[in-house]
Copies of this chain bind each other. A is one copy, B any other.
Amino acid sequence: MKLQSVDNIKFVEGGVCAAKGFRANGIQCGLAHAGAHVTKKKNDLALIAADTECTAAAVYTTNKVKGAPILVTKEHLKNGKAKAVIVNSVNANTCNADGVEKASKMCELAAAELGISPEDVIVASTGVIGQILPIEPIANGMKELAEGLTYDGNPRAVEAIMTTDTMPKEVAVQFELDGKICTMGGMLKGSGMIHPNMATTLTFITTDAGISPELLQRALSDIVKVTLNRASVDGDTSTNDMVCVLASGAAGNKVISHEDADFEAFENALYAIMMNLARMMARDGEGATKLIECAVGGADSEKTAETVAKSVICSSLFKAAMFGEDANWGRILCAVGYADAEFDINKVDVKIASAKGSIDVCKNGAGVEFSEEKAKEILGEEEIQILIRIGDGGFSAIAWGCDLTYDYVKINGDYRS
């Protein structure tokens, strides 16, 4: 999938290992064969380790049902510091009476191998909810996992966090701070149970830039809002969502401690990472064949633009029409109309676009004649833009989603078997 460019940002290779001083590894420890659902043979346990202590920040799911790893990680990040991330797929370790105990154990096992404190370990799990996590495969695999850590281990780690994902999702960038080249890279898993307004999915980001814990948290909270929180696959908010960033400072820049130009540059890099990961996630939504980008402009506030854009990409009817490559724009206007925001529906214009061009389908709230043939050609592409103007205001927002397909139903009709 083509990366979306951002000013002053250069894309590089390496994912979470792109930044200086981060090693990663992933192995198949065998969770799939220990009572949980059987997936194709793939890695299921990942470790990311920093050479030095990092500033760390995280954002978590807003679901009242929180995976046990979330509770443990929150506790460990109270001091804003971390040195490693341990994460498994297959089993979410959620809604289990012994969940916290198992999540803590995962930290202890990783810490023992790395020679660090368990409190410096971030833990995450993803997979089936409500099945006891077997700790033996993790305990048995930890030595191999830690010994295999390398500065180019990103591909093994990113495979280990995938569940129904059909492709690994990673991106890394370089940018300049204080005359120093800094690098930042991230990986993300997420395909179903994805809905905006929450942290959404497991995302791990590393950087060698130096930044204070407070400003790292602020940057992450800011950028989550306009990236992951604007992507939806199916309207379901997971119980285990977490996005976390580790910043080592190894690049040697003056540690960012004010909202200055360096902070802006840092946020810009974080945006480049997280916006591209959000796009990949939407494109790889369960069963999806298309990435749908909805851009709303002319709003009287960013909130209004965001609400309308999310309403469109969350509409099941619209999503099914996109799968059918059917320019049924009435469904777009319908979703615009039930968005919980104030604007004049009679001033709404809608355009559909892709690499094959663009056409107007609605002006001032009413249909305009258009070529169905041209519409079909535009909608035949894999990346579709829905461009909506809702007035003369100066605010805009973009949201990302995907089409609704037979495969979404197939994947989720019997996920556990």
Contacts and interface: CB of A to CB of B under 8 A. Distances in A.
A336 B130 CA distance: 14
A95 B364 CA distance: 9
Q: Is the interface of A mostly helix, strand, loop or mixed?
A: loop
A62 interface: yes
Contacts of A129: 328, 330-331, 333-334
B65 A329 contact: no
A128 interface: yes
In this complex, the member of A192, A315, A409 whose beta carbon has the largest number of chain B beta carbons within 10 angstroms is A409
A4 B362 CA distance: 44
A279 to B, nearest CB: 21
A128 B329 CA distance: 10
Interface stretch (A82-90, A208-216, A236-244): A236-244
10 contacts: A63-B334, A64-B338, A129-B328, A129-B330, A130-B333, A235-B314, A321-B413, A324-B412, A405-B409, A409-B409
A296 interface: no
A162 interface: no
Given A64-B337, A236-B317, A320-B412, 9 more contacts: A64-B339, A65-B333, A95-B366, A129-B330, A129-B333, A193-B331, A234-B316, A235-B235, A321-B412
B65 A320 contact: no
A412 B236 contact: no
A80 to B, nearest CB: 27
Interface of A: 62-66, 92, 94-97, 128-131, 192-193, 195, 198, 234-239, 314-318, 320-321, 323-324, 326, 328-331, 333-339, 343, 345, 362, 365-367, 404-406, 408-417
Nearest to A415: B328
A404 B286 CA distance: 14
A318 B235 CA distance: 11
A365 to B, nearest CB: 6
A97 B366 contact: yes
A234 B335 CA distance: 12
Nearest to A129: B330
In this complex, the member of A129, A237, A326, A330 whose beta carbon has the largest number of chain B beta carbons within 10 angstroms is A330
A334 B193 contact: yes
Contacts of A198: 338
Contact of A412 (B96, B316, B330, B408): B316
